[in-house]
Amino acid sequence: MSDCLFCKIIAGEIPSTKVYEDELVLAFRDIAPQAPTHILVIPKEHIASVAEINEKNSAVVSHIFEVIAKIAKDEKLDGGYRVVSNCGDDAGQTVHHLHFHILGGKKLNVEMA
């Protein structure tokens, strides 16, 4: 997707602070952190949102969650952390490439909505 911000980050056309990378996924620090640790984990394949996950592309999602657990350990988020994926306008999704926020490093607000 040539006009997708996160595809451009994957391609190295836009710089990012990488935390983890393998053949399937990339993790990098959010440019506007909402918590002391705020990392985005994305598939290298362009998937627009959670709504676009299906039986053909869902394997990367389980891999993403393995990567999230590894990153959380590496980042020493021992007190806990939150994983969030905003899907669609009502959830406030601003970048239409599937991404999972890892938020931690402080006591997070409990409100979910």
Q: Which of Zn ion, ligand 5GP, none binds 4 (CB below 5-8 Å, type-dependent)? A: Zn ion
* Contacts to Zn ion from residues 46-85, by CB under 5 A: 46
Sheet holding 18-21, edge to edge: 18-21, 25-29, 37-43, 100-104, 81-84
DSSP-assigned letter for residue 24? S
Q: Which residue has the tokens 């990367």?
A: 60
Q: Does 93 bind ligand 5GP (CB under 6 A)?
A: yes
Give the alpha-carbon dihedral of 91, 17, 61, 73, to 10 degrees: -110
Instruction: Count CA atoms within 13 Å of residue 67 on its CB side.
Output: 25
* Contacts to ligand 5GP from residues 22-51, by CB under 6 A: 28-32, 40
CB of 15 to ligand 5GP, least distance (A): 8
Active site residue 96: no
Active site residues: 99
Residues that bind Zn ion (CB under 5 A): 1, 4, 6-7, 46, 97
Residues that bind ligand 5GP (CB under 6 A): 5, 14, 16, 28-32, 40, 86, 92-95
